[in-house]
Structure 1
């Protein structure tokens, strides 16, 4: 499954694709897509991009939801994407809390390394060189930038607070939402 680096995009989930919740998205019923996000994924798919999701899901280890609940959430996302002609190629998640100090919880780059290995992006020191990573929080962006990804902040979810705090990785591009990111990318302005 080796593809050119320009054909992979890594997305955070909560706050980028769907509404974020302070008390976690715990069920398929609580998973609500953000306006334009499903269309954005479909547009990117139709342009030949593979979509990988990298998401922290500490609610698993906290006991707020089960792995079956998480699968149901992701199944709902796939079902809702189909009418638009979109799909998700892979989903990588970290079930741990910050206290576990694992390598997969963003901002640590563990999930990004797994994505690089899955997509055979292992030909340089910067495993994800130039691949866009789209998130609404600094931890999303730092995880990808550590491996050379190009950072893109969306202002949905926690995005406005993240932008206001500052300290974004150098070169971070800012977009109103996932659809604005997709349109900019497809117009070759990214």
Structure 2
């Protein structure tokens, strides 16, 4: 089967990440992308193996972009400044790219996520380095930070803070303060 002129794996992935932001990650399928591009679904199968492959490509692209953003935000920062930069960069990415953010939360085979997933994980651990956490505790701290940010982002995106005071930004500053306090006073592992 000949590939349609102008379509490449990168062009298909570019269109897919944009579609994810427009309609939601779970709504991205080969058929939906074909409609958006004005081609037959068969034209896309020269570039992707199916919807699962397409979604994996979105996830990897989103992890690459998130890694780039984290690298820039974290440069030269440690401790509280690093945590503020980390959560700010993640929240900013999630706000700007909701479909891509959802893709970073999808389960992706480690071999497929490759360097992109490893890089994001390493950047998150590095941001917490200034807290002096034992290596075995770092995974717990990264999970705390990630789940806190993800929960806040989801609640805000779903309008969970729209009808209450104080505003979400005030709460966000308090959440960031609380994360810093929790990391500074990290409990010792149980004996």
TM-score (norm 2): 0.28
Question: Which has the greater radius of gyration?
Answer: 2
- Which structure's residues are more often helix, by fraction? 2
- Which structure's residues are more often strand, by fraction? 1
Greater relative contact order: 1 or 2 (C-alpha under 8 angstroms, separation 6 or more)? 1
